[in-house]
Amino acid sequence: MPVDRAEFAAALGQYAAGVCLLTVRDGIDDVGTTVSSVMSVSADPPLVAVALTSAGYPAEVLEEVGSCGLTVLAAQHAIVASRFSSAGRPSARHLLESVPWSRAAGSGAIVLDDGVVALDCRLDRLVPAGDHVVALLVVDAVPVLGAGARPLLRLRGRYVDESGVPHARP
């Protein structure tokens, strides 16, 4: 008997996950998306994995460009996470007007200056996985390391702080 999709989503929602912003600079514009399916894969070579909707524009642009920035969002970035998870979003630069950011040296992608950490990455390969693709990313540099920053988490469909308290709506 197949698992009910809503029950499956509710079950996985019980797992607190860090929230990240993946950005790609494609020569014309900057594309970004909020992701919470991120994991460390290997220390040697340094690899991380990110799950992206296979039919989504960010996956298409990442495959074409071959590099990206990945920022682990800090607690104060709940509104940024919401902006980048909305459909029909404008250019990444427009969604970050009041947020300090810079460009990663290798990929040229946007990384947030006050994130928990930011990674400058190259695409190793995309692996089909159901309605998603898993992007295996080689980490070339760590342009931001905010060791004291409080992380933004997603739990039960809401953005929460590290103690599980939901963020107040602005």
Cis peptide before 45 (omega within 30 of 0): yes
Residue 119 lies in a domain: yes
Residue 49 lies in a domain: yes
The reported pLDDT for the residue numbered 133 is 97
Structure tokens at 19: 């929230």
The reported pLDDT for the residue numbered 4 is 92
CA distance 17 to 39: 10
Residue 12 lies in a domain: no
The reported pLDDT for the residue numbered 66 is 98
Residue 165 lies in a domain: no
Residue 152 lies in a domain: no
Task: Report the chain (170 residues): mean pLDDT per 10 consecutive residues.
Answer: 89 91 92 94 97 93 97 94 82 86 97 97 97 97 93 91 72
The reported pLDDT for the residue numbered 97 is 86
Strand, helix or coil for residue 61: helix
CA distance 143 to 111: 8
Query: Count of domains in the chain?
Result: 1
pTM: 0.92
Structure tokens at 168: 């107040």
Q: Is 159 exposed, middle or buried (0-12, 13-18, 19+ CB in 10 A)?
A: buried
Residue 7 lies in a domain: no
Domain that holds residue 42: 18-146
The reported pLDDT for the residue numbered 2 is 87
The reported pLDDT for the residue numbered 169 is 58
Residue 154 lies in a domain: no
Q: What is the CATH number of the domain that holds 84?
A: 2.30.110.10
Residue 126 lies in a domain: yes
